[in-house]
Chain A
Amino acid sequence: MVNWIWLAMIALSVVFGAVNGRVQQVTEAAFSGAQTGVTVCFGLISILVFWMGLMKIAEVSGIVRRLSLLMAPIVRWLFPDVPKDHPALGYILSNMSANLLGLGNAATPMGIRAMQELQKLNPNPSVATPAMCTLLALNTASITIVPTTLIAIRMNFGSAHPADIIGPTLLATAISTGAAVAADRWYRRRQRAAPPVRPPSAGKASQRPASPPASL
């Protein structure tokens, strides 16, 4: 899909440029765009180097682990179908706390380990379990306390208060995570109320299955 978007933007640019008589500007924009890309990345170096150094300290000193302990009750509530002492919960916690601190590089391997552990609990290995969907929802919403990359970019373009976005970002991310969790819960409940294999029924929606669905 990304391939198509990219191609469409470039192709449409040339077509529209020709129609609007702006081919010259389009050509110039191609080079200035490439230049901005490099400049922005170089601008990111300072903050990313600093921040990742700081976060390494957090990791080595066990602050990340301490943070996961704090979140343990939330995670147990979010994943009711994972046994209490299952290793998956540990990885989920590391994944969430790494996301919280903006450690994307550390969060992804942890999340994948968690998925692998959840897969062991999965009766049907090619179909996602509710726990997997919940983990995914948390990761797509991804609460991050400090959006370092954006702060760095704002700094690059001369913002008076680059860090001003932390508060609103946290508010927005809290709302979107809340929405993800709510939607996830809603689907879980619907799953439990209906048989896992979609029935051909149209009018018997209120009929409850006699036995619990096999996929749970």
Chain B
Amino acid sequence: MVAALHALSAWAIPMFIVLIPLVAAFRKVPVYETFVDGAKDGFQTAIGIIPHLVGMMTAISMFRASGAMDMLIGWVAPFFSALGIPAEVLPLGLLRPITGAGSLAFATDLIKTYGPDSLIGRIASVVQGSTDTTLYVVTVYFGAVGIRNARYALKVGLFSDAVGFFAAVFACWLLFLIEPSFRIPRPSCANPAMGV
């Protein structure tokens, strides 16, 4: 399974990059023009995140610099380290269902502080990337049609977030701590096609 997950990581992007334009061209789509047309949205999206991320990064950086973060982590660390979970990622797990921008900022902060290839940096990436912001989704989707009684929807969402958090920790443990004995040659290091 570890090898399969590695292969997936290495091949997913190259496959997308080759297959989508090929299939499209086969179907007589003007691939380049379409690409440029869609790419415009990417710029808007990236710029649109700035206010959210600046607001949240400021608050999280201050929180870390003040020493409050270390205290908070210090309280929960003994319990979580017994489970093999770095306590540093716990606030991310709590923020994730509540605020998308906040958890993105927190994940960024963890990646910045501990390095992207550290266990903490990787868990942060996976936790952030593997679920959506439950409260936001409930508000937007039910709000749009005027549902006031969400019944069990919120519980299901939060439950799956909790499961997702532990699954993310497990997946990273599996790959990045057991990895050395399993390391397989990669077809493309760091994906040159994405223009590192």
Are both chains from one complex?
Answer: yes
Q: Is the CB of A150 within 8 A of B128?
A: yes
Q: Which residue of A lies closest to B47 (CB)?
A: A41
A24 to chain B, nearest CB (A): 9
Question: Does B5 contact A168, Cβ atoms closer than 8 Å?
Answer: yes
Say yes or no: B54 contacts A38, CB within 8 Å: yes
Residues of A within 8 A of B156 (CB): 133, 136-137, 140, 180, 183-184, 187
Contact B24 A50 (CB under 8 A): no
B interface residues, how many (CB within 8 angstroms): 115
> Are A162 and B157 in contact (CB-based, < 8 A)?
no
Q: Is the CB of B54 within 8 A of A34?
A: yes
Establish whether residues A132 and B147, one from each chain, have CB atoms under 8 Å apart when the complex forms: yes
B50 near A33 (CB under 8 angstroms)? no
Tell me which residues across on chain B come within 8 A of A58, comparing CB atoms: 20, 24
Report the count of interface residues on A (CB-CB < 8 A). 103
Near A by CB (< 8 A), chain B positions 152-167 give 152-153, 155-157, 159-161, 163-164, 167
B83 in the interface, Cβ–Cβ < 8 Å?
Answer: no
Contact B137 A139 (CB under 8 A): yes
A57 touches B135 (CB 8 A): no
- Tell which of A61, A125, A158 touches B24, judged by Cβ atoms closer than 8 Å: A61
Contact of A57 among B21, B98, B133, B189 (CB under 8 A): B21
| B152 close to A153 (CB less than 8 A) | no
Q: How far is the CA of A157 from the CA of B144 in the complex (A)?
A: 38
Q: Does A87 contact B (CB under 8 A)?
A: no
Is the C-beta of A144 less than 8 angstroms from some C-beta in chain B? Answer: yes
What distance in Å separates the Cβ of B71 from its nearest Cβ neighbour in chain A? Answer: 7
Chain A residues positioned under 8 Å from B34 (CB to CB):
53, 56-57, 60-61
Docked-complex contact A142 and B50, CB < 8 angstroms: no
Give the contact stretch, choosing among A1-9, A69-77, A78-86. Answer: A1-9
Additional 8 contacts, C-beta under 8 A, given A63-B20, A105-B45? A16-B67, A119-B147, A136-B141, A145-B12, A158-B116, A165-B125, A166-B8, A167-B7
Please report A residues at the B interface, Cβ cutoff 8 Å: 1-2, 5-6, 9-10, 12-17, 20, 22, 25-26, 28-30, 32-34, 36-38, 40-42, 44-63, 105, 108, 111-112, 115-116, 118-119, 125-128, 132-133, 135-137, 139-142, 144-147, 149-150, 153-155, 157-173, 175-177, 179-180, 183-184, 187
